[in-house]
Amino acid sequence: MPTLLHVDSSPLYGRSVSRELTAAFVTQWKASHPDGRVVDRDLYATAIPPITAELVGAAYTPEEARTPQQKELLLLSDTLIAELEQADEYVIGSPMHNFGVPSVLKLWIDQICRAGRTFSYADGTAKGLLIGKKATFIIATGGVYDAQTQMASFNFVEPYLRSVFGLLGVKDATFLTTGGTIALNSGQDRDAFLAPHLEAVQAHAQTI
Ligand SMILES: Cc1cc2nc3c(=O)[nH]c(=O)nc-3n(C[C@H](O)[C@H](O)[C@H](O)COP(=O)(O)O)c2cc1C
């Protein structure tokens, strides 16, 4: 049974562009995979603590030597990593916040990047351990950061996600970006604005 992991990270819920587009992706994916399973991970509904020295200590202690407290500290990270391991495909929504990913998405990334679990440096080079996964990243930005525009170098969302997931072994990654959402704050019709982006998301979801 194919499994899709659906991750959202916008605080705006009903007004969020990335949430609307990841939902459209999920609807299309379910239609193409009637026997599929979708796991939803809403990062605004998940309390993810920042990294602490204790957590780092626990992660770098060999599994068989961990204390009960260290195992407890790693439980959330273990759960989030298991969701990635058990899914075949990912759809991950990200707004741009201050040119980067929102803080809840960064907190999640800090929990899922674990040496020996999702990547290894065993032979001195980084090797991703999430193998054979397909990821679709759906990004919404207030401004426009297309390549060749003056603002392109300010976009730390796509290059960052591409690098992090590349480290984890997820090389099959598609990025669908909706730029210029600021127009929605000044009277632009939402349905008309979103129509081509919904079409692109649905068309892509049909191919996988
Ligand atoms: C806290 C915050 C910071 C933002 N920073 C940026 C930014 O640096 N650049 C930009 O183009 N848009 C910025 N925006 C606008 C969002 O990227 C835009 O509203 C986008 O649609 C958010 O995705 P969402 O609709 O899924 O929440 C910011 C919005 C918020 C709430």
| Overall pTM > 0.95 | yes
pLDDT, residue 110, reads 98
pLDDT, residue 144, reads 97
Show me where the domains of the chain are located: 3-206
pLDDT, residue 137, reads 98
Spatial distance between the Cα atoms of 182 and 141, rounded to a whole number of angstroms: 8
- pLDDT one-digit tens code per residue, 109-130: 999 999 999 999 888 888 999 9
- What is the mean pLDDT of the segment spanning 79-95? 98
Helix axis angle, 103-112 relative to 75-86, nearest 10°? 90
State the closest ligand 1 atom to the C-alpha of 95, by its place in the atom list counted from 1. Answer: 23
Residue nearest to atom 10 of ligand 1 (CA): 142
**If you measure from the C-alpha of residue 96 to the centroid of ligand 1, how many angstroms do you get, rounded to a whole number?**
5
Spatial distance between the Cα atoms of 121 and 41, rounded to a whole number of angstroms: 28
- pLDDT one-digit tens code per residue, 128-166: 999 999 999 999 999 999 999 999 999 999 999 999 999
**If you measure from the C-alpha of residue 95 to the centroid of ligand 1, how many angstroms do you get, rounded to a whole number?**
6
pLDDT, residue 123, reads 81
Residue (of 206, 101, 94, 188) closest to 139 by Cα position: 94
Spatial contact of 204 and 166, defined as CB atoms under 8 Å apart: no
Query: Into which CATH architecture does domain 3-206 fall?
Result: 3-Layer(aba) Sandwich (3.40)
